Amino acid sequence: MENIQVLYIHGGETFKNHDDYLMYLKTREITLDKQPSWSGSLAENLGDDFNFARLNMPLKENAQYEDWKINFERYLPFIKDNVILVGFSLGAIFLVQYLSENKFPKKIFAIYLVATPFDGDLPGADLAGGFRLQSDLSLMSENCSRINFLFSKNDDVVPVSHAGKFAEKLPGARITILDHINGHFFIPEFPELIEMIKEDVENSRE
């Protein structure tokens, strides 16, 4: 495979009602400083063998699943076979929900899901807006045989206990728990993910 397409879906926020959303706008931390993000360095770190694109989903600070689904499906004509899908946080559960409810029209090489919430059991956030997994996730495994979850043991947004929930529903998935990353993967570089992607691609060529 050459020039492997890598599509990244960012995280976001959901709220149970409009008042909660307004309170978030009034109280969230504001800064003019640019916050470094591992997703911003993915393209450079993956290198020339990969064609990276970030999919911008609508209203990420008050996300609705149906809006994201419509937007995501607009990209489908541009997606190539053997695509790699990467999702972070809300973007990760979006991919799980979409791929467990819909037959994907292209061949997926692998999926990498970082800090994926399984349900609304979150210490400081709501999982609303229609983001809700069905009890049967088996269609996702039919869409892709290489499913990878990465969790931080010290994540204060998505507890590491969610890893076990996915292990039960998707027993064929590879789950990696990192104990040296503090918080919700707000890190400038993510070499473990880069190494995992490159290693999987290299192994597929042998």
Strand partners, 85: 7, 111
- CA distance linking residue 2 with residue 120, whole number of Å: 39
Phi, then psi, of 29 in degrees rounded to 5: -70, 135
- CA distance linking residue 94 with residue 88, whole number of Å: 9
pLDDT at residue 192, rounded to an integer: 94
Beta strands in the chain (DSSP E): 4-9, 50-55, 83-88, 108-114, 147-154, 174-182
pLDDT at residue 67, rounded to an integer: 97
pLDDT at residue 2, rounded to an integer: 65
pTM for the model: 0.93
Given the structure tokens 């728990």, which residue do they identify? Answer: 177
CATH number at residue 122: 3.40.50.1820
* Domain count within the chain: 1
- CA distance linking residue 168 with residue 184, whole number of Å: 23
Domain span including residue 171: 4-205
Residue 201 in 3-state DSSP? helix
Ramachandran area for residue 183 (φ above 0: left; ψ -120 to 50: alpha; else beta)? left
- CA distance linking residue 25 with residue 149, whole number of Å: 30
Strand partners, 178: 152
pLDDT at residue 125, rounded to an integer: 82
- CA distance linking residue 52 with residue 46, whole number of Å: 8
- CA distance linking residue 92 with residue 173, whole number of Å: 14
pLDDT at residue 1, rounded to an integer: 53
Mean pLDDT by 10 residues, the chain (206 residues): 87 93 90 81 90 94 96 96 96 98 97 96 88 96 96 92 96 95 88 94 84
